[in-house]
Amino acid sequence: MSARAPLARAVSWLHRPLSLSSTQPINRHVRFSSTATASRAISPGSGSSQVSSETTALAAERTTSALGLETFLDSLPPHCTPDSDTCTDPWSTVQFNDIVILRNAKTGLRRLTGPLEPEGQFSNETGYINHSDLIGLRPRDRINNHKGHAFTVHFPTLEEYVLLAPRAATPIYPKDASTILSMLDLPRPNARILEAGTGSGGLTVHLASAVASTLGTGRVLSVDMRKSHTSHATKFLSRFRRGHLRPYVDFVTGDLAEVLSSPTVPDSTFDGIVLDLLNPWDQVANAHRVLKPDGHLIVYAPNVTQVVKVLEAVKRDRLALAVVKCVEVSEREWEIKPVVIKWPEGKAPAKAVGEGEEEGPESWMCRPKHVQTGHTAFLLHLTCTKKGKEPKHLRGDQAEAVKSAEGS
């Protein structure tokens, strides 16, 4: 299937001039000046010549801090109190088409529900809640289902949304996505990012969130072979936080090599590229062509054999790519909660409890959660060196690893 027609529209932003949006100066209500403060702090005849510089510096530091606080306060929208009926914050209440989390108040289990519809309904083993009953609730309000079981309603975080939403393929989990953003040096202004392998859109929404935070000057091009993946990811992104990230991503269905071979995609177009493909070594040369000098190429590889094959392709094709590092991200959650030691009747040690008591003092239980910590992928980070020169892309143990693989 040809990707040239939709690609021409999707990458039209590549040729647009970029400029940071100008912002109006913030009205700062200055209550005092450093000069005035310093002059008041120094009294004549009190040895001011010895302390004037220190006092002036201290006054300037306090003034800077005060101005920073006032600038921040001036930028805030009107404050919304829980009982306010005139609040203009659109996120102060739940609305139709929102995606929300309902947390069981007794067990703590979370369920993602939505988009909320007038005739929609949330149901589980404890009962049901009509979507219309959720409209107008504020985050962290409680609501009972038809059997009286309590739930807390709130908006999902980015991590919760990726982990709890239905998926078309295994997503790139938040722990890996956050590391990828750091490797891509995001967020930064005017970033142009290519994602090869859209999948369920887990990484896509992270990338969109990063480029959207830089005054809207960034853009993401996401490519996948499967139309079903593109369709799912488009809905996935559009439903998160009322679709405010959707304008920052262009989706294309097609083969990556065909997409990048289009004359509408010039060399050195992208600041960062992520390859989440079955055979990333087949596309690393194509990615190298469209990557800017000093740009970042991240390969998401479930097994280390894929990492070695990518490095072999870099060496074979003499690509100007230098290895930064290869990491495996692990995460272990801990359970920390207060506990009270309870002793069987008459068995409590005399020193452990007071007279006539069967319970010891409150203590804390701190231990790793009983959840298996599994491997997800290796993240291979390469950077584009100056094109046109032979790169020194493999050094030390990395070169030995490739040499060993070639000899086997």
Q: Write the CATH number for 147.
A: 3.10.330.20
Name every residue whose Cβ is closer than 8 Å to that of residue 40 and which is 6 or more positions away in sequence.
Answer: none
Say whether both 193 and 304 belong to one domain. Answer: yes
User: Do residues 295 and 242 share a domain?
Assistant: yes
For 76, the token pair is 């805030």
Same domain, yes or no: 263 and 298: yes
Percent share of the chain, pLDDT over 70: 73
Confidence at residue 223, expressed as pLDDT on a 0 to 100 scale: 97
Q: Is residue 168 part of a domain?
A: yes
Q: Where are the beta strands (DSSP E) in 119-204?
A: 121-124, 127-130, 142-144, 150-154, 192-196
Based on the domain organization, do 245 and 280 belong to the same domain?
Answer: yes
Look over the chain and give the mean of its residue pLDDT values, rounded to a whole number: 81
Contact 356, 334 (CB under 8 A): no
| Burial class of residue 408 (count of CB atoms within 10 Å of its CB; 0-12, 13-18, 19+) | exposed
Task: Output the domain CATH number for residue 283.
Answer: 3.40.50.150
Residue 10 lies in a domain: no
Q: Is the pTM of this model over 0.85?
A: no
Taking alpha carbons only, the member of 330, 329, 327 closest to residue 380 is 327
- The answer to whether the beta carbons of residues 312 and 406 sit under 8 Å apart is yes
Residue 307 lies in a domain: yes
User: Does residue 188 fall inside a structural domain?
Assistant: yes
CA 408/CA 395 separation, integer angstroms: 20
Q: Are 181 and 323 contained in the same domain?
A: yes
Query: Torsion-angle region of residue 154: left (phi > 0), alpha (psi -120 to 50) or beta?
Result: beta
127 and 255 housed in the same domain = no
Alpha helices in 278-395 (DSSP H): 284-290, 304-316
Shared domain for 170 and 152, answered yes or no, is: no
Q: Which of 98-107, 125-134, 304-313, 332-341 has the weakest average pLDDT?
A: 332-341
- The pLDDT of residue 32 is 36
- By the 10 Å C-beta count (0-12 exposed, 13-18 middle, 19+ buried), 302 is classed as middle
Encode pLDDT of 59-81 as tens digits: 777 776 777 788 887 777 766 66
Q: What is the pLDDT of residues 6-36, one digit of tens each?
A: 565 555 555 554 444 434 443 433 333 333 4
Q: Is residue 353 part of a domain?
A: no
Cα atoms in the 13 Å half-sphere on the side-chain side of 27: 2
Q: CA separation (Å) from 284 to 96, 194, 197, 279, 364? A: 44, 13, 13, 9, 51
- Among candidate residues 140, 156, 172, the one where a domain is terminated: 156
Whether 143 and 210 share a structural domain = no
Own/partner long-range contacts of 24-29 (Cβ < 8 Å, ≥24 apart) = 26/71, 26/74, 26/75, 27/74, 28/67, 28/70, 28/71, 28/74, 29/70, 29/74
Task: Count up the domains in the chain and report the number.
Answer: 2
One domain for residues 297 and 195: yes
In a domain, 18, yes or no: no
pLDDT of residue 326 exceeding 90: yes
In a domain, 45, yes or no: no
- The reply to whether 178 and 287 lie within a common domain is yes
How many beta carbons lie within 10 A of that of residue 52, not counting itself?
A: 14
Residue 137 belongs to what domain range? Answer: 100-156
Asked whether residue 144 falls in the same domain as residue 200, the answer is no
Q: Residues of the chain with pLDDT > 90: what percent? A: 55
204: pLDDT strictly greater than 60:
yes
- pLDDT at residue 84, as a whole number: 63
Looking at the domain assignment, is residue 201 inside a domain?
yes
Do residues 232 and 253 share a domain? yes
